[in-house]
Chain A
Amino acid sequence: MKMYKYILESVNNINWMAIIPLVIFFVFFVLMFIHVIRTEKSHIEKMSKLPLTNDL
């Protein structure tokens, strides 16, 4: 039972609304991933120790 068929019929080619978010996210994720991998190790280590540097 496609109860909302009649909504879609009144708006043509609405599927792009569901596709675009996936494309945006994919591009965003790939770029972020590449950059994270390329971050230098020394910096990563320094950052990860930040909570521990001012112990009581």
Chain B
Amino acid sequence: MNQLNMSNIDHFKYDNSIVRKFAFATMIFGVVGMLVGLLIALQLIFPALNFDSPYTTFGRLRPLHTNAVIFAFVGNGIFMGVYYSLPRLLKTPMFSKLLSNIHFWGWQSIILAAAITLPLGFTSSHEYAELEWPIDIAIAIVWIIFGINMFGTILKRREKHLYVAIWFYIATWATVTILHIFNNLEVPVSLVKSYPVFAGVQDALVQWWYGHNAVAFFLTTPYLGLMYYFLPKAANRPVYSYRLSIIHFWALIFIYIWAGPHHLLYTSLPDWAQSLGMVFSLMLIAPSWGGMLNGLLTLRGAWDKVRTDPVLKFLVVAVTAYGMSTFEGPMMAIKSFNAITHYTDWTIAHVHVAALGWNGMLTFGVLYWLIPRLYGSKLYSVKLANIHFWLATLAILFYAIPLYWGGVTQQLMWKQFTPDGFLKYPNFLETVTQIIPMYSIRAFGGFMFFSGLFVMMYNLFKTMSKSSFISEEAASAPPLPKKYVSPKGGHWHRVLERKSILLTLLSVIAVSIGGLMEIVPMVWLDSNTPKISTVEPYTPLELEGRDLYIREGCVGCHSQMIRPFRSETVRYGEYSKSGEFIYDRPFLWGSKRTGPDLHRIGEKYSNSWHYNHMLDPQSMSPGSIMPAYAWMLYDDLDTTQIAEKIRVLQLLGTPYPTDFDKKALSNLKAQALEIADDLKSSGIEQERLEDKEIVALIAYLQRLGTDISKPSINK
């Protein structure tokens, strides 16, 4: 370089300390998230591990596990990768160190808030969006701060063209913003309780549009961005086909957004939406596999390196797991296949191949690559990294295979009839106890994966302790010319690579078309959802009972959606109809049956059966793995908010009579007294029984699914 050019070079520093902060956070929350996961896996084998405490039951800990792994472990992993790669790809430091730190501490505070509120039972019950409204607002603020920091960096860059990894980051940011806002539209009742604006089928569709795309745009696209940056870095060669990466990007973000309804096959969701979800899910194989092949082929001619470099080993397994789960996902979206896998442990196996394999292994690979570079040293022990690699890889097999086996076994047992036409296994519990050995092997797999994490942490801390941290890394690059002169015959995509705002806008349009096309007709269909004349709003006591059902996370193990199969209608009763859910805020269809479906549980058992079952499930169903809910028998029902709850529901369109909020409490007490009297007449002796939570829960359970069998009233 000549003298003239040298004087034109900018000198600046990359901030490594923010990268290290997020790296520590991802490791710590990896431990926390997986520890809770291990505990809930063991609870399914040893119900005593629920510790008879409300704060440690499966129903409350499961959302803690999923949130910790998705938003704390993977979330911090995303930010670690973005804060390292984005400035280097753009040849500029991050826009603002202050914003970086607000982002970091803000995100960790949200995680802390989640870790406190979820065990306390504050939940909106939307899967992977359980946090209540004040935390939702905090998430939105921190996310916007991250956005300002990211776009600020993009705007002051020294590299005109945006590398494909950055498109994935931009699409992630834009789409998560939209998803988060729409799925959390709710009206507060108190600081820790709210009701969603959508009800029943609409709520289900919005939730799974969110749930599916949270997987797409939180667990997939940002990690694809990391793959497109860190895989070429680790292999020291460019990505196999940059053209393919462009196709991968646009096809993936366009198709993903349509596929959400595949979570609701055979439910009360309209047929056209189910078919749409299924077709787009199948199409999704193409871009997903394009991306996987692009990753794997980047290593063409360098496979000898994979043998020796643990980083590449982790990345190869990660990309392969991505390929496997993105093949499996579309298969599970085929209706006939979904009929077998849905509600079973197959789903749990599927998400863990993705979470442990794709997200976990990629995070580990990046950490093994990154930490030595942040310390200007070499990895302490390649041997330990290899041990971790084999522990983790085998752990995934030990985790997934038993659950596939158990899932299919259980579904076949659910569906098996005797030659005389009766269910062969009419007792649901038989199908659960049958697969408990599979749960044990799964827990062992989880334990292996968890222990691998400590091997890694020991190795990385040893790496850190033998040299000093480079908190700021000097770099230099020529500034961008003030005015960009487009080369003659410039290509449209090169314009996009230069104009980040345009790229963002187009990404938003690509993902919005799908969302709008699916959700608008559903909201518009509101007036067309067939009303069933006998379906009425919940009474105040039932409403309180329903909120207890939500608080305890019953939806984590019990669905409320009977599919139109003979095996289900014989077992549970009449299949579920969309008109039955119009007052359900939120919907509680569930996605997993660790216990039986409860949609037609109403009036199936006596009040005293439910009372005793909640006190000690094993006494009513020997061998049951359900935790006891004894505190509901002793804790007083909090009725202070019932009037406000009624007012909020009226605001949202539930047709309670005018001034019903003022009568709600007396109505509640009258119904509670009725149930308490019935319990007493069955020989249950307890002081002030009518004031206890259990009475509200019984009221709700006894109401479930009974409206359609009431005699219709001709108005």
- List the interface of chain A (C-beta within 8 A of B): 1-4, 6-8, 10-11, 14-15, 17-18, 20-22, 24-25, 28-29, 32-33, 35-40, 43-52, 54, 56
Residues on A with beta carbons closer than 8 Å to the beta carbon of B233: 51-52
Whether the pair A35, B89 counts as a contact (CB closer than 8 A) is no
Set of chain A residues within 8 Å of B228, measured between Cβ atoms = 51
B residues 230-259 with Cβ under 8 Å of A?
Answer: 232-233, 236-239, 242-243, 246-247, 250-251, 254-255, 258
25 A/B residue pairs, CB under 8 Å, sorted by A: A3-B268, A3-B564, A4-B271, A7-B271, A7-B525, A8-B270, A8-B272, A10-B530, A11-B528, A14-B270, A17-B276, A17-B521, A18-B273, A21-B258, A25-B254, A28-B510, A33-B247, A36-B493, A43-B491, A44-B242, A47-B161, A49-B238, A51-B88, A51-B165, A51-B228
Contact A40 to B239, CB < 8 A, known contacts A1-B575, A56-B373: no
Contacts of B89 in A (CB 8 A): 50-51
CA distance A18 to B273 in the complex (A): 7
Contact B494 A4 (CB under 8 A): no
Q: In whole angstroms, what is the CA distance A49 to B298 when docked?
A: 12
* A47 lies within 8 A of B575 (CB): no
Q: A28-B254, A39-B491 are in contact. Are A47 and B497 (CB under 8 A)?
A: yes
Closest to A10 in B: B528
Contact in complex: B242, A21 (CB < 8 Å)? no
Provide the bound-state CA to CA distance between A24 and B29, in Å. Answer: 41
Which one of B232, B247, B473, B575 lies within 8 Å of A36 (CB-CB)?
B247
Q: Which residues of A contact B198 (CB under 8 A)?
A: none
Interface residues on B, range: 35 or more
Q: In B175-226, which residues have CB < 8 Å from any A CB?
A: none
Least Cβ–Cβ distance between A49 and chain B, in angstroms: 5
- Fill in one digit per residue for B609-648: 1 if any A CB lies within 8 Å of its CB, else 0: 0000000000000000000000000000000000000000
Asked if A50 and B161 make an inter-chain contact with CB atoms under 8 angstroms apart, the answer reads yes
- CB-defined contacts of A35 to chain B, threshold 8 Å: 491-493
Is the pair A40, B514 in contact by a Cβ cutoff of 8 Å? no
B residues less than 8 Å from A46 (CB atoms)? 161
User: B: which residues have CB within 8 A of A?
Assistant: 85, 88-89, 91, 159, 161, 163-165, 228-229, 232-233, 236-239, 242-243, 246-247, 250-251, 254-255, 258, 268-273, 275-276, 279-280, 283, 373, 473, 475, 477, 491-494, 497, 510, 513-514, 517, 521, 525, 528-530, 564, 575, 577-578
Out of A10, A20, A54, which one reaches B91, CB within 8 Å? A54
Task: Check if A52 sits within 8 Å of B530, measured CB to CB.
Answer: no
With beta carbons under 8 angstroms apart, the residue of A14, A48, A50 that contacts B272 is A14
Q: Is the CB of B491 within 8 A of A6?
A: no
A56 to B378, CA, bound (A): 13
The CA-CA distance from A4 to B250 in the complex, in Å, is 34
Q: Are A21 and B280 in contact (CB under 8 A)?
A: yes
Nearest CB of A to B589, in Å:
14
Task: Please determine whether B163 and A6 come into contact, CB atoms closer than 8 angstroms.
Answer: no
Question: Are A54 and B242 in contact (CB-based, < 8 A)?
Answer: no
Which residue on chain A has the smallest CB distance to residue B473? A56
Closest-by-CB residue of B relative to A41 is: B243
A32 lies within 8 A of B268 (CB): no
Cβ of A2 and Cβ of B492 under 8 Å apart?
A: no
Contact B270 A24 (CB under 8 A): no
Let me know if A29 and B251 touch, CB within 8 A. Answer: yes
CA gap between A40 and B493 in the complex, in Å: 11
Q: Report the Cα distance A8→B273, complex, angstroms.
A: 11
The docked-state distance in angstroms from the alpha carbon of A14 to that of B594 is: 36
| Structural contact, A1 and B272, CB atoms closer than 8 A | no
Give the docked Cα–Cα distance between A4 and B491 (Å).
48
Residue numbers in A under 8 Å from B250 (CB-CB): 28-29, 32
Chain B nearest Cβ from A25, distance in angstroms: 6
Chain B positions within 8 Å of A25 at CB level: 254-255, 283
CA distance A3 to B274 in the complex (A): 13
Could you say which of A3, A4, A24, A50 has the most chain B C-beta atoms within 10 Å of its C-beta? A50
Residues of A within 8 A of B493 (CB): 35-36, 39
The answer to whether B159 and A50 touch across the interface, beta carbons within 8 angstroms, is: yes
Q: Considering residues B229, B233, B269, B528, which has the most beta carbons from chain A within 10 angstroms of its beta carbon?
A: B528
CB-CB under 8 A from A56, the residues of chain B are 373, 473
Does the CB pair A18–B275 fall under 8 Å? Answer: yes
Q: State whether A20 touches B517 (Cβ < 8 A).
A: yes
Residues in A whose Cβ lies below 8 Å from that of B528: 7, 10-11
- Give bound CA distance, A39 to B159, whole Å: 19
Contact status of A32 and B247, CB under 8 A, knowing A3-B564, A18-B276, A52-B233: yes
Q: What's the least CB distance linking B515 to chain A, in Å? A: 11
| B279 neighbours in A (Cβ, 8 Å) | 18, 22
Residue in A6, A24, A50 whose beta carbon sits within 8 Å of that of B513 in the complex? A24
Q: In chain B, what residue has the closest Cβ to A32?
A: B250
Distance, CA A49 to CA B270, complexed state (A): 48
Contact, CB under 8 Å: B242 / A17: no
Q: How far apart are B344's CB and chain A's nearest CB, in angstroms?
A: 21
Q: Is A44's CB under 8 angstroms from B268's CB?
A: no
Q: In the assembly, what is the distance between CA of A35 and CA of B475, in Å? A: 35
Give the docked Cα–Cα distance between A33 and B244 (Å).
10
Q: Are B271 and A1 in contact (CB under 8 A)?
A: no
- Determine if B91 and A4 form an interchain contact, defined as CB atoms under 8 angstroms apart: no
Query: Which chain A residue shows the least CB distance to B161?
Result: A47
